[in-house]
Amino acid sequence: MAKVKGDIIIDIEKCKGCELCIEACPQGSLETSRKVNNKGYLYIVKVEDTCTGCTNCALVCPEGGITVYRKTEKGKEQIAKISNVTKDMELKVN
């Protein structure tokens, strides 16, 4: 299988620096910044280029502030095979 490459974008103005995403990240990609956002929170930033797009950080983010991206060398088709929380449920209703 091709190597999975992921990335995230953190909405730093929503971030309250709770650090739950740091705890959840299996790659150790995240850290608390030394800068504050407009609300005065030390927000979270990505510091290692090791993201696999596993979505753990976004799952535990109480602010809904993390968007997760994922890409393989072979392109889009591969992505669909990877367990994706937004698509892993059967929709039985309606």
Partner 1 sequence: MSMNERDLLEDKHFEQVISDESICTKENIVYEKPETLLDVSMHYCPGCGHGVAHRILAEVIDELGIQQEVIGVAPVGCSVLAYNYLNIDMSEAAHGRASAVATGIKRVLPEKYVFSYQGDGDLAAIGTGETIHTCNRGENILIIFINNGIYGMTGGQMAPTTLPGMKSTTSPFGRDVATMGAPLKITELLAQLPGTYYVTRQSVHKPLNVRKAKKAIQKGFEYQKLNKGTCFVEIVSNCPSNWKMTPVESNKWLDENMLPFYPLGDIKVPKD
Structure tokens at 94: 């309606």
Binding-site size for partner 1 (CB under 8 A) equals: 57
Which of these, 62, 54, 51, lies nearest to 84 by C-alpha position? 54
The dihedral formed by the CA atoms of 84, 86, 90 and 94, expressed in degrees to the nearest 10: -160
Tokens describing residue 90: 């059967």
Q: Which of 3, 76, 78, 81 binds partner 1 (CB under 8 A)?
A: 76
Tokens linked to 64: 């809904």
Using the structure block, give the residue that is written with the tokens 């990335």.
Answer: 7
Touching partner 1, residues 8-27 (CB under 8 A): 8-9, 13-14, 16-20, 22-24
Minimum Å gap between C-beta 68 and partner 1 is 4
Binding mask 23-62 for partner 1 (x = CB under 8 A): xx----x-x-xxxx--x-x---xxxxx---x-xx-xxxxx
Residues in the chain, total: 94
Residues that bind partner 1 (CB under 8 A): 5-9, 13-14, 16-20, 22-24, 29, 31, 33-36, 39, 41, 45-49, 53, 55-56, 58-71, 76, 79, 82, 84-86, 88-89, 91-94
